[in-house]
Amino acid sequence: MLLAALVIALAAGIGVVVNDAIKSGAAGQPAALGDSCLVGTWRDGAGSSSTTWDGHYVALRGGGGDIDHISANGTDEDTWGARAKPLYGIYQGHTLKEILHGQNILAIHVTRPGHLSVTESGWSAGSTDKFIYEGRAYPASLDRRGGKNYYAYECTRHKFKWRVKNRTVDREARISGTP
């Protein structure tokens, strides 16, 4: 009788573990993202970035309109299509404009609550980047592979914020709960 109760309790415990693994996508799936709030399709809002122009650091603001498809396995397909907006900065008193088109693939993983590691796989073939300065266009190259960065983040049902050193660097709005 005691043995039967022990077997039933053990089976129930295994059932809970297996059920939790299936819910999290752990069974036979790539490493999970770590926060189901992030899963879905997001429209990027304005953010901040930087570039080196003529050997000088230039802070850029703006952008937005690109679409992020974030899957439960941590893959973020970031598509800069026709609705994506340019980034703007100032260099020597003149506007520097950056225009991106294409797709950038990222791997996102929650390292601890409220913190992400982001590994950039790089821009797909056919993606383009160009700068406009003083009315002239300058083609630029995009890395086909990128590096790893760390961010703090906040995620709610409707909003997703990327943060660096207590400063919001990007805001996104949920379009859909599915990637």
Q: Among 18, 39, 21, which residue's Cα sits nearest to residue 110? A: 39
Q: What is the 3-state secondary structure (H, E, C) of 26-82?
A: CCCCCCCCCCHHHCEEEEEEEEEEEEEECCEEEEEEECCCCEEEECCCCEEEEEECC
Q: On the CB side of 176, how many CA atoms lie within 13 Å of its CA?
A: 8
Mean pLDDT (the chain) is: 83
Each residue's pLDDT tens digit, 24-50: 334 344 468 999 999 999 999 988 889
Q: What percent of the chain has pLDDT over 70?
A: 82
Per residue in 107-158, pLDDT (tens digit) is: 999 999 999 999 998 898 889 999 999 999 999 988 767 789 999 999 999 9
Task: Tally DSSP H helices, then E strands, for the chain.
Answer: 1, 12
